[in-house]
Structure 1
């Protein structure tokens, strides 16, 4: 669909100006965004007071508002020439409501990033995006070279069951169901993207199940039927204490037959050098692998657009992505000294992993007078294989220590996860932006299959059992059954998620300024599960499970356009997450179950849901030289699906336990006090806590009223960019700072899974700088990431409660590099 003019910015005429790479450039044909606000020097109390006053002023109509979709450190993509001349902040276009519109006209809390903006901040993956987005937090657990991760939006997050945050590539959902330990979301890498949109709060009406916390959308550039476009990027970098990194990629779009057929193809490869060494556990001066935690990523995409008539476009596309990982970004505290640049682990085996997926999609857009018919048919297939070192886990479980007292003992693990999704969506939607009524109705179907398998090599179990018994004894004699194909532990879990939904949303202008919104999605979901186990440790079993439901997710909203180029809005919406089924716990977990006061874990668990209440404002000031956005929210999360640890047998299960409430605000400001200087700031506060006690066998409990949901309450992001002429081009200098506060959860000695030796994650600070110049589309820059070489250990953990091995996790050490990009 073509972009349509903003209701409140009729005078703006879009034009392209890649020089205006200030992190807040936003335009009506490209994306850009920028969060921002406040200063990090305020105390918590003063911050709260200041922000609350600002929010009140905004919601009262004094337009404390701005477009959250101003890119926190982005470069302007397509900037309005007139605005660039007078120093005004530009505009960005998004499709958060499934239609093209200026972000400042969307009554939803959104942050958006353009490709140019991402390049200016050096963002290469989802980790970088979430660090710059208010109210969003991202954690990655790289045990065994896996890419397991969790994402939280406004406190809503989970590492079990279906995902709480929707992940989309264009109109294709690609989020995954977490099956025990091996499954995690796939995220597209950040090359050749038109933009990334982060939508906060439940998006259950337009985006369905799995979007109860929000939705992250990766939007691809489409072939241009009239013009040729070229985008290329290369980079080399050196990491202190580690190995070099590099990347290279190119994207080309060409009209093959003007106005009829066009193609766009891209390819990109990146290698990130490691900075952690693997040493011999028994001879720690002997380095087995230097810079072991290296990784690689390769992405290729092709799309072809056909326009058989003026009003019809058909675009088939295919994307392939492959990521290889090695070692994992964790180090052993006992062997490391970060202050001296020493990062080491003593894993008995090297760990490797490979994650690859392909997405084939067919998109159709047919303009039928005042209505558009939009369809998207897609097939997503993914295979991820990770081979972690399970020596410490096996040793902890059987011998009581993660450092095996038997020299040379090893136990290889295997995590094999396959995912296969088919989705079909069809929408009819109005396309007259001047009409009083705007609407979209549609239907959605998805069929998702997943298979997760885990194996643990048992070839050395005889040695362990002999050590335990004090005399030779076989696996079969000890456990009552032999190894199966050399494995002591085998699980094979197969799931099938089906969903059929009808949805619609109406926006009706009661007056020229006042609009009401109503939306509804009705879904039928069905989940089938078969879990099989084998091997002497778990025993042989096959357990089926099934659950179905018909969730309804409504949305209600109201918005008002003020005289001062502002927008006030309020929304009530619901999000849900489907339930599931699980296998029973083995007999080896009997002691853990008894401590919980149960004989067996539940075979099925139900859905959970979130009701969200949000009020916000967006606006511009001082002849559009300042933009601001603010929102306040309350999320009520009920029947929460959460993991319960069975610590002694190193397993866990899922149950619906308790409720929680998340309250807070997001605030962003972007300013250009003079045309050459762009300043941006954003701050968010999220107070997410459980609202009830969940007791088990006295005196233990799973959660208590007032326990946090495990997130850091405060996040702050600040940036600034100075642009100035240099010869026939433009030069710039920019700096970016991000902050996350510590988690202040109080100690809970009687909480299930509580480990008194694992403190809450501390606060983090990260500073980066970049300087460069742009000449006729060629951008050359030098950068320093982690300028002050922060060594904060924010990932302290251990595999089991009896393990003496503690893992640490930190930002990549200071990295200096050179980036060259070209756009035409």
Structure 2
């Protein structure tokens, strides 16, 4: 075993605007459900600009929306169930709560590159110790719509929205009517037992026209299809969530909204499988098996709170919002082979162990903004934002007993903690001027300031024994100004065109010195921010009396100071850390189509091409050379769907049948094949079918996903090369779901 591999294992343990419309208001978000267009969102109302509520077609940026009704019809319960229908999105996927979102080819080590919001709450993935930037998987219950904003949104949505932003917009309380729904589904996945999913909501006008409550909940028990030595279906997912929302109409002009949400996801094992065991022998028996000898459960628990005050006047809207998210994750990974390789402890006995990573994250954020409605050619958006974040991370390496669990006889082979505090504040604004009613120029900017402090403590040294104690206090800070320029031309009622130049950025971070000390190497204290410029031209059309929506965009992205994995060496030891590289670029095109050629028929399609490449060698060229493609970015992604609805005879029943298909091109997990753990991920198709009947408030739907049971790997385990057998992640096997929905 090479010393380089030993250092890698030690590192593993250390890682853990436009046309003038009505201002955005509390009711503008609820307006989306009145739309006649659900498949690709041609007529869905969105609030992507934070200033106005407009339809997708009238919003002069690349935005796609999926309505809550459409998501229910598809049987979607989380991000994995809908993202393939949005061109330009790919995912570095390791299961629930462990995803890294990629839009328009922007992906690298460091914090997430895609901003994620639940209403006004920032839930973007953190810059974790393992560089993963994972965000929670919000369950899709009582959702009004999902907005996907492609391209940099940094001026309005801040850091880590450098590639785009995904917004989950919940259904809001209604002040004057009792409404609600209950939906339940039976789910059958090949190789798994029968599962159950149910969700529902009730809207209560406590004081009609003045005060209303909306309560909703979600539960899913999805049996697993991967076995391990101690459990069949070990990757079963059990999820539960609840949300309570309130709306108080203080005056006709002043509205207070509140929201509290809880969500928990549990798995007894992650979603990967192996083909050989730890001794290198083929695994036989079940279709998918894990080689782990230690139990490695995963828990992800989130609490989300928000209060938003909206004041609407003829001259504009003032919005004040404050939020908190508290997220706790407990991640485990079998570390038995590493203990055998590095400490000469046999994996089947004294070396049987696991890596335990516990993360606590609390984020408080607030924003105050004004969106004008001056009634003339000049409009403004102005706001101030703050975010305070505290994180605590513990990485320990306990031995486990013969049943694969920690007990009183367990001992620690490593124990470390890292505490991080981040403070960010920003001022942002946009100015729009309509030179003529059909031609509007928008100029936006964001002035930001970012400070981070971090301290690590080595409690137990690698292999056991007392650790070195507290490391140095590491600090990093950054400030700057980013901009956005958008020229929108409403050619006529059917055609809108725009040209946009927008900047995005991502904050830097620190490199843990206590981890480097374990490997006896010297690394920089931290790394700087990276940024990009996106140059884009887009066209949106509503043709054939609005029976055909055809939208497209061409874009070029210039990415500088890209955050990459560097290597520090001391003799034969090579240790990975995060640094700044040179440049990368993305050349891309996207196209979406939504058509209703005849009554009852709906067709949709989407296509994206992204060529994301390094334009300069990384500081350590072996980790990436000019011309290498960016990891986890396929050149081509696409989707297509069709549905037909009609009245069945004279019964009054409405029947619907539909089919959809999605394609993801090949990609790789690293820049080039000379990098350890490089794996090529092949192209694949997924096909789904659905059928349903409805009458009045009730409906019954049958869905089939992954019809042909494709098991092409979509990711590989990031395990120490040469020590662990490959672990494969795949899409969920063929699944049938039968659901019933009742509205009241």
The aligned counterpart of 2:694 is: 774
Aligned positions of 1:379-528 closer than 5 A: 379-399=324-344, 404=346, 406-407=348-349, 409-431=351-373, 435-458=376-399, 486-528=411-453
The aligned counterpart of 1:318 is: 260
Q: Pick closer, same or farther for the CA change 1:448–1:567 going to 2, 3 Å.
A: same
Q: Pick closer, same or farther for the CA change 1:507–1:653 going to 2, 3 Å.
A: same
2:574 and 2:222 map into 1 onto residues whose CA distance is: 32
The aligned counterpart of 2:44 is: 92
Aligned positions of 1:592-631 closer than 5 A: 600-631=522-553
Shift in Å, 1:7: 6.6
Indicate conservation of the 8 Å contact 1:509/1:515, yes or no: yes
Q: 759, 763, 788: which is aligned to 2:708?
A: 788
Indicate conservation of the 8 Å contact 1:325/1:354, yes or no: yes
The aligned counterpart of 2:120 is: 171
Shift in Å, 1:437: 2.2
Q: 86, 106, 110: which is aligned to 1:133?
A: 86
CA-to-aligned-CA distance 1:600-652 (integer Å, 9 cap, x gap) = 21111111101111110001111111101000111111111122367998963
Indicate conservation of the 8 Å contact 1:708/1:745, yes or no: no
Indicate conservation of the 8 Å contact 2:316/2:373, yes or no: yes
The aligned counterpart of 2:586 is: 662
Shift in Å, 1:391: 1.4
Q: Pick closer, same or farther for the CA change 1:684–1:337 going to 2, 3 Å.
A: farther
The aligned counterpart of 2:228 is: 278
1:637 and 1:262 map into 2 onto residues whose CA distance is: 47
Indicate conservation of the 8 Å contact 1:568/1:616, yes or no: yes
The aligned counterpart of 1:329 is: 271
Q: 290, 293, 300: which is aligned to 1:355?
A: 300
Q: Pick closer, same or farther for the CA change 1:209–1:768 going to 2, 3 Å.
A: same
- Select between 219-228 and 442-451 the one with higher mean Cα deviation: 219-228
Q: How many residues align?
A: 700
Q: Pick closer, same or farther for the CA change 1:317–1:328 going to 2, 3 Å.
A: same
1:646 and 1:243 map into 2 onto residues whose CA distance is: 48
2:212 and 2:682 map into 1 onto residues whose CA distance is: 51
Indicate conservation of the 8 Å contact 2:120/2:306, yes or no: no
Indicate conservation of the 8 Å contact 2:32/2:145, yes or no: no
Aligned positions of 1:682-721 closer than 5 A: 682-696=606-620, 701-710=622-631, 711-721=633-643
CA-to-aligned-CA distance 1:460-516 (integer Å, 9 cap, x gap) = 9xxxxxxxxxxxxxxxxxxxxxx9993221121111111111111122111011110
| Alignment gaps of 5+ in structure 1 | 10-25, 35-69, 75-89, 280-287, 461-482, 591-598
1:274 and 1:690 map into 2 onto residues whose CA distance is: 39
The aligned counterpart of 1:222 is: 172
The aligned counterpart of 1:637 is: 559
1:567 and 1:783 map into 2 onto residues whose CA distance is: 36
Shift in Å, 1:208: 0.8
Shift in Å, 1:690: 0.5
1:387 and 1:156 map into 2 onto residues whose CA distance is: 28
Q: Pick closer, same or farther for the CA change 1:255–1:164 going to 2, 3 Å.
A: same
1:110 aligns with 2:66: no
Indicate conservation of the 8 Å contact 1:748/1:754, yes or no: no
Shift in Å, 1:394: 2.7
The aligned counterpart of 1:559 is: 488
Shift in Å, 1:747: 8.7
Indicate conservation of the 8 Å contact 1:459/1:487, yes or no: no
The aligned counterpart of 1:547 is: 476
Indicate conservation of the 8 Å contact 2:221/2:239, yes or no: yes
Q: 375, 378, 387: which is aligned to 2:323?
A: 378
The aligned counterpart of 2:72 is: 119
Shift in Å, 1:396: 4.0
What secondary structure does 1:705 align onto? Answer: coil
- Select between 783-792 and 171-180 the one with higher mean Cα deviation: 171-180
What secondary structure does 1:71 align onto? Answer: coil
Indicate conservation of the 8 Å contact 2:624/2:671, yes or no: no
Indicate conservation of the 8 Å contact 1:27/1:91, yes or no: no
1:134 and 1:338 map into 2 onto residues whose CA distance is: 37
Indicate conservation of the 8 Å contact 2:605/2:639, yes or no: yes
The aligned counterpart of 1:66 is: none
- State the TM-score, normalized to the length of structure 2: 0.89
Q: Pick closer, same or farther for the CA change 1:358–1:551 going to 2, 3 Å.
A: same
Q: Pick closer, same or farther for the CA change 1:299–1:405 going to 2, 3 Å.
A: closer
Indicate conservation of the 8 Å contact 1:629/1:669, yes or no: yes
Shift in Å, 1:531: 1.5
What secondary structure does 2:32 align onto? Answer: coil
Q: Pick closer, same or farther for the CA change 1:139–1:702 going to 2, 3 Å.
A: closer
Indicate conservation of the 8 Å contact 2:150/2:165, yes or no: yes
Q: Pick closer, same or farther for the CA change 1:31–1:271 going to 2, 3 Å.
A: farther
Q: Pick closer, same or farther for the CA change 1:807–1:365 going to 2, 3 Å.
A: same
What secondary structure does 1:185 align onto? Answer: coil
The aligned counterpart of 1:82 is: none
Q: 576, 585, 593: which is aligned to 1:652?
A: 576
2:133 and 2:89 map into 1 onto residues whose CA distance is: 21
Q: Pick closer, same or farther for the CA change 1:397–1:485 going to 2, 3 Å.
A: closer
Shift in Å, 1:567: 0.3
Greater per-residue strand proportion: 2
2:282 and 2:196 map into 1 onto residues whose CA distance is: 27
1:535 aligns with 2:456: no
Aligned positions of 1:247-326 closer than 5 A: 247-279=197-229, 288-326=230-268
1:679 aligns with 2:570: no
Q: Which consecutive aligned stretches of 4+ in structure 1 deviate over 4 angstroms post-superposition?
A: 5-9, 31-34, 335-341, 404-408, 645-651, 744-749
1:459 and 1:725 map into 2 onto residues whose CA distance is: 61
Shift in Å, 1:701: 2.3
Shift in Å, 1:27: 10
CA-to-aligned-CA distance 1:767-789 (integer Å, 9 cap, x gap) = 11110011102110111111111
Q: Pick closer, same or farther for the CA change 1:210–1:746 going to 2, 3 Å.
A: closer
What secondary structure does 1:795 align onto? Answer: strand
Q: Pick closer, same or farther for the CA change 1:327–1:406 going to 2, 3 Å.
A: closer
Q: Considering only aligned residues, what root-mean-square deviation do their CA atoms show, in Å?
A: 2.8
Shift in Å, 1:125: 0.9
CA-to-aligned-CA distance 1:48-88 (integer Å, 9 cap, x gap) = xxxxxxxxxxxxxxxxxxxxxx634x8xxxxxxxxxxxxxx
Shift in Å, 1:274: 0.3
Q: Pick closer, same or farther for the CA change 1:147–1:240 going to 2, 3 Å.
A: same
1:443 and 1:695 map into 2 onto residues whose CA distance is: 37
2:284 and 2:554 map into 1 onto residues whose CA distance is: 41
Q: Pick closer, same or farther for the CA change 1:223–1:649 going to 2, 3 Å.
A: farther
What secondary structure does 1:194 align onto? Answer: strand
What secondary structure does 1:345 align onto? Answer: coil
Shift in Å, 1:458: 5.0
Q: 491, 499, 506: which is aligned to 1:570?
A: 499
1:722 aligns with 2:644: yes
| Alignment gaps of 5+ in structure 2 | 1-17, 23-28, 402-407
